[in-house]
Amino acid sequence: MQSFETLSKQFAEKFDTRHFPEQPASLYEPNEYFLKLGGKRVRPVLCLMGNELFDEIIPDAWHAATAIELFHNFTLIHDDIMDKAPLRRGQQTVHTKYNDSTALLAGDVMMVKAYEYLNKTSSKYLSKVLSLFNKTAIEVCEGQQMDMDYQSQNNVSMNDYLQMIELKTSVALAASLKIGGLLGGGGERNQNLLYEFGKKLGIAFQVQDDYLDAFGDKNKTGKQVGGDILANKKTFLLIHAMESPSCKKELEQLMNTNPDDKVQKVIALYKDCKADEWAIQLKNKYFDEALTHLDDIAVLSKRKEPLRELALFLVQRDF
């Protein structure tokens, strides 16, 4: 198997081309702008790695990977609107650079383009691939709605938040791997283990993402520090800190009053409650569970090594 870095370069060579017509430019240029911002391209490469875990990468996997990346970018454009995020990958978000209406339409046509690529998959696999892709797309939307709902709810349990993360983040990673495994000829048990590996890895990934929002370096993450805090988003950090009576009252006051130094004060409370240390432990828990599922896949250990290395990178990243 090839490394994530190698496959990422190969995917970029195929993907970094114009995907939309030139006219109407007011609709399509925002998408071309957004795609040129790049990204980690984790999901499409996971699809390729899922294929190569069992056999050589087939053309259908490249089509599916492209569809997955386009769908992911569609969700980012819409998420940025809902989150009122000014930056994405260190650059202006589409709704900020253009406007909300243009961003909505650009995102919509991005999703349609994803289905165009997916429809190139051979009839042998298309039904199963479409079924899993559609199921995942619905779950991602459900997770995003739950995320928005939680912003106005005072009490969100850890179990509620975990369910939301599974839907919004984890299932996309899991489905990318499973689609690749399906296209690579993996058996049903191995496909399901690959899915569970991706799901647990996705939770660990999100814990790290929540952590970086508060404790990351803006120059590395390319995002506004404390964006989740400003939006009163429920995160692993916030939910854990709210379980401490000494922190809960101050956090609620900060969330209700939104002072100018809100981000700095909330981060200080997170440290007082040791939420930062707890988050690292939680991340490691789900990472270990993910590796257990990977170990159980019935292929040679050396074929699984690139996935293991990628998993380690994703949970230790600082961007």
Mean pLDDT by 10 residues, the chain (319 residues): 95 96 97 94 97 98 98 97 89 97 98 98 97 98 93 89 95 98 98 98 95 89 86 92 93 95 97 95 97 98 96 88
Number of domains making up the chain: 1
CA-closest candidate to residue 75, choices 171, 19, 140: 140
Helix 4-15 to helix 59-83 angle, to the nearest 10 degrees?
Answer: 80
Opening angle at CA 238, ends 235 and 244, nearest 5? 145
The partner residues of 91 in beta bridges, in order of sequence, read 88
Q: Domain for residue 239, yes or no? A: yes
Contact criterion met (CB below 8 Å) for 209 and 233? no
CA-closest candidate to residue 50, choices 168, 164, 196: 196
Q: Domain for residue 224, yes or no? A: yes
The number of C-alpha atoms within 13 Å of 67 and in the hemisphere containing its C-beta is 28
CA distances in angstroms from 137 to 53, 114, 171, listed in the order given: 24, 11, 9
Q: Domain for residue 197, yes or no? A: yes
Reading the block at residue 164, the tokens are 């939301």
- How far apart CA 61 and CA 49 sit, in angstroms, is 9
- How far apart CA 225 and CA 264 sit, in angstroms, is 10
CATH of residue 290: 1.10.600.10
Q: CB within 8 A of 230, min separation 6: which ones?
A: 224, 258, 262, 263
The number of C-alpha atoms within 13 Å of 40 and in the hemisphere containing its C-beta is 17
Between the CA atoms of 34, 37, 41 and 42, what dihedral angle is there, to the nearest 10 degrees?
-100
Q: How many residues does the chain have?
A: 319
Q: Domain for residue 56, yes or no? A: yes
Between the CA atoms of 45, 47, 52 and 56, what dihedral angle is there, to the nearest 10 degrees?
-100
- Please state whether beta strands 91-92 and 87-88 pair in parallel, antiparallel, or not at all (unpaired): antiparallel
What domain range includes position 138?
A: 42-65+122-316
Rounded to a whole number of angstroms, the distance between the first and last alpha carbons of the chain is 26
This prediction has a pTM of 0.91
Q: Domain for residue 221, yes or no? A: yes
**So what's the pLDDT on residue 36?**
95
Say whether 188 sits in a helix, a strand or coil. helix
Q: Domain for residue 53, yes or no? A: yes
- How far apart CA 154 and CA 156 sit, in angstroms, is 7
Q: Domain for residue 193, yes or no? A: yes
Q: Domain for residue 190, yes or no? A: yes
**So what's the pLDDT on residue 1?**
86
- How far apart CA 68 and CA 117 sit, in angstroms, is 9
